[in-house]
Amino acid sequence: MNTPFATLHTRTLTHRILSVAAVVGLLTAGCNGFNFSFTFIVPKKAEASDTQNVALPDGTRVMVNNEIGSTRVTVDPNATQAKIEITRTALADTQEEADDLLTKIVVTVTPPTAEDNTLKIDAPKPAEATGHRADFDVTVQDDEINVVAISATTLVAQVRLRITLPPGHGVDVVQGTGNIRAVALDTASSLKATTGSVRTLGANADVTIDVTTGAVEVEAHRGSLDVDIATGALNVQIIGLAGDDQVVARIETGGIDIVLPEDIGCVLKALVEVGAIDFRARDFDRVQITTQTRSVLDVMLGDGGPLVDLRTEVGGIDIDSQ
């Protein structure tokens, strides 16, 4: 038995203020008469919160589009309706600008109808606000984003969505800049982030995850899993697979760390273009090896069954048991 799965609960993005100061120092030291200015300031804030409750007929699909901020979806077996907690935050270098921007952050909640059994939550970014991380400095704890500084004249809009659902409703979340967290999903769902991380905990459902730039963490997962990452890492723990489930992971640049039950039955395939695969047959109860090289792995664990297919172009693949 190998090292148990560990998740990263706190991540702090690199602060740019000191690095900018260092660059300025180097430039000014080496170039007489060269002027360079880049100013970060502590932002002024305007904030407003609202909670909406929406009845969900059987089979309602929940669709979320949040362009900047963070989204958390939790399935609660005791919930009888959807609860949507909305926090809108505006940041600027003056209070007047922050107050004005807050009025332009609009979140639309559209309840399901007889013609369209979909709950839609839409949080677009105001046109004048930035979504570029180079314009602001943040810390991230779990899925909570805290802007600690902004560049001069920058306007930052954020929407934090906390959505609680009763069982039996799939979700489709599209997040622009920011993070997604999903807890106890029980119906097939999809999670997509452009710049940010995705984390799921305790899903018992088929889940599809698509990330352009950012990390993906999947903890205590049961069901099919399909992950596609352009740049970022995947950390996943599978605790159960049914016969018709499959796990497919594709990464262009980044590593894969996966933990499987030591007594699992599956067909395990792995491929790396640049990097290496770390797999130890002794970590699992029964292993039949077809191919095992530094970059290619094809084995049957237990009696076989579901497919676990892992591929990365640049990065390693580490396969552990628990």
Q: Per residue in 37-79, pLDDT tens?
A: 456 778 889 999 999 999 999 999 999 999 989 999 999 999 9
Closest C-alpha among 240, 206, 242, 243 to residue 226: 206
Mean pLDDT, to the nearest integer, of 171-181?
A: 96
Q: What is the pLDDT of residues 285-304, one digit of tens each?
A: 999 999 999 999 999 999 99
* pLDDT band, very low/low/confident/very high, at 29 (cuts 50, 70, 90): very low
CB-CB contact of 245 with 224 (8 Å) = yes
Residue with tokens 């090289």: 293
In the chain the first and final C-alpha atoms are separated, in Å, by: 6
Residue with tokens 């933990």: 259
Top-confidence residue, 136 or 25: 136
For 20, the enclosing helix (H) or strand (E) is: helix 17-30
* pLDDT band, very low/low/confident/very high, at 7 (cuts 50, 70, 90): very low
Quote the CA–CA distance of 126 and 122 in Å, as a whole number: 12
The pLDDT assigned to 9 comes to 37
* pLDDT band, very low/low/confident/very high, at 133 (cuts 50, 70, 90): low
CB-CB contact of 123 with 66 (8 Å) = yes
Amino acid letter, residue 31: C
The pLDDT assigned to 266 comes to 97
Whole-prediction pTM: 0.85
Quote the CA–CA distance of 166 and 66 in Å, as a whole number: 21
8-state DSSP, 241: -
The pLDDT assigned to 265 comes to 97
The pLDDT assigned to 249 comes to 98
Amino acid letter, residue 60: T
Closest C-alpha among 255, 208, 212, 257 to residue 231: 212
Residue with tokens 């984390």: 199
* pLDDT band, very low/low/confident/very high, at 141 (cuts 50, 70, 90): low
